[in-house]
Amino acid sequence: MDIDYFKKVNDTYGHAIGDQVLIHVAQTIQSQLKERGLFARYGGEEFVLAFNGLTLLEGEAIANELRSYVASQPLETLKDTITITLSCGVAEAITEEEETLYQLLHKADMALYCAKQEGRNRVHVYREPVKPEM
Protein backbone atom coordinates (compact mmCIF):
# COMPACT_ATOMS: atom_id res chain seq x y z
CA MET A 1 0.00 0.00 0.00
CA ASP A 2 1.11 3.50 -0.78
CA ILE A 3 0.11 6.91 0.63
CA ASP A 4 -1.40 8.89 -2.22
CA TYR A 5 0.29 12.18 -3.13
CA PHE A 6 2.80 11.90 -0.30
CA LYS A 7 5.34 14.06 -2.15
CA LYS A 8 2.74 16.83 -2.28
CA VAL A 9 2.35 16.59 1.52
CA ASN A 10 6.11 16.98 1.98
CA ASP A 11 6.26 19.83 -0.53
CA THR A 12 3.28 21.66 0.99
CA TYR A 13 3.76 21.10 4.72
CA GLY A 14 7.41 20.06 5.05
CA HIS A 15 9.12 16.81 5.96
CA ALA A 16 8.26 17.04 9.67
CA ILE A 17 4.54 16.89 8.81
CA GLY A 18 5.32 14.19 6.24
CA ASP A 19 6.86 12.17 9.06
CA GLN A 20 3.73 12.74 11.14
CA VAL A 21 1.62 11.46 8.23
CA LEU A 22 3.72 8.27 8.06
CA ILE A 23 3.35 7.70 11.80
CA HIS A 24 -0.37 8.50 11.68
CA VAL A 25 -0.98 6.01 8.86
CA ALA A 26 1.05 3.29 10.58
CA GLN A 27 -0.75 3.77 13.90
CA THR A 28 -4.17 3.95 12.22
CA ILE A 29 -3.60 0.70 10.35
CA GLN A 30 -2.10 -1.06 13.36
CA SER A 31 -5.13 -0.09 15.44
CA GLN A 32 -7.35 -2.00 13.01
CA LEU A 33 -5.17 -5.09 12.57
CA LYS A 34 -5.24 -6.21 16.21
CA GLU A 35 -2.08 -8.31 15.83
CA ARG A 36 -3.22 -10.21 12.75
CA GLY A 37 -0.90 -10.23 9.79
CA LEU A 38 2.55 -8.77 9.31
CA PHE A 39 2.58 -5.00 8.78
CA ALA A 40 5.73 -3.02 7.99
CA ARG A 41 6.99 0.08 6.27
CA TYR A 42 8.49 -1.04 2.98
CA GLY A 43 10.22 2.19 2.03
CA GLY A 44 9.36 5.84 1.52
CA GLU A 45 5.59 6.06 1.80
CA GLU A 46 5.01 2.38 1.02
CA PHE A 47 3.84 -0.26 3.46
CA VAL A 48 3.42 -4.00 3.12
CA LEU A 49 0.80 -6.12 4.81
CA ALA A 50 1.02 -9.90 4.67
CA PHE A 51 -1.42 -12.55 5.85
CA ASN A 52 -1.14 -16.30 5.94
CA GLY A 53 -4.08 -18.44 4.90
CA LEU A 54 -6.39 -15.80 3.42
CA THR A 55 -7.97 -15.88 -0.01
CA LEU A 56 -7.44 -13.14 -2.54
CA LEU A 57 -11.00 -11.91 -1.92
CA GLU A 58 -10.39 -11.75 1.84
CA GLY A 59 -7.18 -9.80 1.23
CA GLU A 60 -9.03 -7.39 -1.04
CA ALA A 61 -11.75 -6.89 1.59
CA ILE A 62 -9.19 -6.13 4.31
CA ALA A 63 -7.32 -3.71 2.03
CA ASN A 64 -10.58 -1.88 1.26
CA GLU A 65 -11.51 -1.71 4.94
CA LEU A 66 -8.11 -0.27 5.83
CA ARG A 67 -8.15 2.16 2.90
CA SER A 68 -11.59 3.46 3.91
CA TYR A 69 -10.66 3.69 7.57
CA VAL A 70 -7.47 5.65 6.91
CA ALA A 71 -9.43 8.09 4.71
CA SER A 72 -11.89 8.61 7.57
CA GLN A 73 -9.11 9.46 10.05
CA PRO A 74 -7.47 12.73 8.91
CA LEU A 75 -4.32 14.00 10.59
CA GLU A 76 -4.98 17.12 12.64
CA THR A 77 -2.01 19.50 12.71
CA LEU A 78 -1.76 22.91 14.35
CA LYS A 79 -2.47 24.57 10.99
CA ASP A 80 -4.50 22.12 8.91
CA THR A 81 -6.46 18.93 8.68
CA ILE A 82 -4.79 16.54 6.24
CA THR A 83 -6.94 13.86 4.66
CA ILE A 84 -4.92 10.80 3.72
CA THR A 85 -5.81 8.20 1.13
CA LEU A 86 -4.15 4.94 0.18
CA SER A 87 -3.73 2.97 -3.00
CA CYS A 88 -3.36 -0.77 -2.50
CA GLY A 89 -2.23 -3.69 -4.60
CA VAL A 90 -3.31 -7.18 -3.52
CA ALA A 91 -1.61 -10.38 -4.64
CA GLU A 92 -1.70 -14.00 -3.60
CA ALA A 93 1.25 -16.38 -3.39
CA ILE A 94 1.09 -19.44 -5.60
CA THR A 95 2.37 -22.22 -3.38
CA GLU A 96 2.33 -24.89 -6.09
CA GLU A 97 5.01 -22.99 -8.02
CA GLU A 98 7.13 -22.19 -4.94
CA GLU A 99 6.84 -18.50 -5.62
CA THR A 100 9.55 -16.33 -4.05
CA LEU A 101 8.85 -13.35 -1.82
CA TYR A 102 10.32 -11.12 -4.52
CA GLN A 103 7.85 -12.51 -7.10
CA LEU A 104 4.92 -11.99 -4.73
CA LEU A 105 5.96 -8.42 -3.93
CA HIS A 106 6.39 -7.74 -7.66
CA LYS A 107 2.81 -8.88 -8.34
CA ALA A 108 1.51 -6.69 -5.51
CA ASP A 109 3.51 -3.76 -6.86
CA MET A 110 2.04 -4.23 -10.35
CA ALA A 111 -1.46 -4.22 -8.81
CA LEU A 112 -0.57 -1.11 -6.80
CA TYR A 113 0.56 0.64 -9.98
CA CYS A 114 -2.82 -0.22 -11.57
CA ALA A 115 -4.64 1.24 -8.55
CA LYS A 116 -2.71 4.47 -8.99
CA GLN A 117 -3.37 4.52 -12.74
CA GLU A 118 -7.10 4.02 -12.08
CA GLY A 119 -7.24 7.19 -9.99
CA ARG A 120 -5.77 6.33 -6.56
CA ASN A 121 -7.63 5.79 -3.28
CA ARG A 122 -8.56 2.29 -4.39
CA VAL A 123 -7.59 -1.35 -4.23
CA HIS A 124 -6.53 -3.34 -7.27
CA VAL A 125 -6.15 -7.13 -7.25
CA TYR A 126 -3.44 -8.83 -9.28
CA ARG A 127 -4.84 -11.51 -11.55
CA GLU A 128 -2.59 -14.13 -13.12
CA PRO A 129 -2.55 -13.87 -16.93
CA VAL A 130 -4.54 -16.62 -18.61
CA LYS A 131 -2.18 -19.09 -20.27
CA PRO A 132 -3.21 -20.04 -23.79
CA GLU A 133 -4.12 -23.68 -24.29
CA MET A 134 -1.96 -25.69 -26.64
- The Cα 60–Cα 33 span in angstroms is 14
Q: Which of 45, 65, 118, 133 is catalytic?
A: 45
76 is catalytic: no
> Which residue type sits at 104?
L
Determine whether 7 is exposed, middle or buried from the number of CB atoms within 10 Å of its CB (0-12, 13-18, 19+): exposed
95-105 burial code (b ≥16 CB/10 A, e <16): eeeeeeeeebe
CA distances from 128 to 3, 19, 61, 92, 134 (A): 25, 36, 19, 10, 18
Q: What residues act catalytically?
A: 45
